[in-house]
Structure 1
């Protein structure tokens, strides 16, 4: 695999403070959080695929709003049909049992609904996607501009991505990697680099020292190194989209 499956570090973290500006809606039976840019344009969209904490997590909503503040229409779906993993999971939560009900057979159709909605209901011209931890797998699985799916992809501390999935991408891909990450450790990062080199598609991997898996969403902002890495990873994503959207 190009990254390992989710583990304890995928649900541990710190809730961030801030006022969210998006709103909740429903798209063909899928609950979504949407956030508009100041000019209300939907030409350039970002599909936000979350970690296992889900779309109701304040941290994810604040990030979605930040993408909107940078000019993108953002859609963030409930990937888990009301069944996310609680932040800092309580005692007795069965992670292995949870995983069984939240694989590609359950997640891919939700992503398909969102992509169809962005193209057909909202009329978006270009769709980028961000995937944090769990969500990264589904950015990779749908990074197929040739099929009218995702045009440009960005991943932060990815999990559960297989080599075959990575080999199949057809669009530009950027990755933010953490120094201390046993889900996406050095050998998996290097494996991903080796695969991406062969594809003839633009790619970028930025490596952030002194931070752990989950830093881009759930890291403690009391640590200056984490705050800097989180902000830098976010700007990496924004710059990647601007480069490949041409906006």
Structure 2
């Protein structure tokens, strides 16, 4: 693997203050959130698909989508879990392997066979309903796997932060510019996995970037404690990393 499976750190963190400005909607049967830029700054025919962490569509992901929209990008978050996200700061003994295999109810799996069609439906919505011709994607934690998996469906530029569950062949298959924001302390995207990912990307022939952020842990780009100056700085820099990447390679 280029990154390890999800673990307890994938659902730990802090809820951020703010008032989301996008709209909730359905894409097919799936919950979604759409953040639309002001027409005066909107990038024509361009969008970002936001593939979320295991907490799915919630306060922090909505605020991040709004930030992408404030930079001119129509941004769609899609619920990958059919209404079965993981609770923020839930029980420390939460069984991630069982949740992925069967879901919380025992009959709602979150494996790639079930998640892939949801991502494909979101991409189809953006292309057919919103007229998107240039598509970027951001993936946080769990969502990173599905950014790299869906290059084949038209993702042209990618950004992922503290990725989990990415297979080496999936990373090798992403034949487009890819930027990664990594945490200094991360049991999922370890130093070993990061260096392996660097080696894979170096062979890709496409632009790539891995930025390592000090004094933060897995999940920092979405769920850090913004009262801590180091964590707040890293989160903001990861976001600017993504915007700069898209401004350079997607527009």
TM-score (norm 2): 0.94
Aligned to 2:221, the other structure's residue is in SS state helix
TM superposition shift of 1:199? 1.0
TM superposition shift of 1:97? 1.6
Find the aligned partners of 1:189 and 1:230 in 2 and give their Cα distance. Answer: 19
- Residue number in structure 2 paired with 1:13: 13
- Residue number in structure 1 paired with 2:105: none
- Residue number in structure 2 paired with 1:130: 138
Find the aligned partners of 1:41 and 1:172 in 2 and give their Cα distance. Answer: 19
TM-score (norm 1): 0.95
Structure 2: 5+ residue runs without aligned partners?
Answer: 102-108
Correspondence 1:29 to 2:34: no
5 Å-filtered alignment, 1:22-61, equals 22-39=22-39, 43-55=45-57, 57-61=58-62
TM superposition shift of 1:95? 2.6
TM superposition shift of 1:209? 0.7
The CA deviation string for residues 182-205 of structure 1, in whole angstroms up to 9 with x for no partner, is: 100111000000000111011011
- Residue number in structure 1 paired with 2:239: 234
- After superposition, the CA RMSD in angstroms is 1.2
Find runs of 4+ consecutive structure 1 residues off by over 6 angstroms. Answer: none
The CA deviation string for residues 47-85 of structure 1, in whole angstroms up to 9 with x for no partner, is: 000000111x10010000000000000100111000000
- Residue number in structure 2 paired with 1:112: 120
Number of matched pairs: 242
5 Å-filtered alignment, 1:73-222, equals 73-90=74-91, 93-100=94-101, 101-144=109-152, 148-222=153-227
Q: Report the more deviating stretch, 29-38 or 61-70.
A: 29-38
Q: Report the more deviating stretch, 26-35 or 168-177.
A: 26-35
Find the aligned partners of 1:42 and 1:77 in 2 and give their Cα distance. Answer: 21
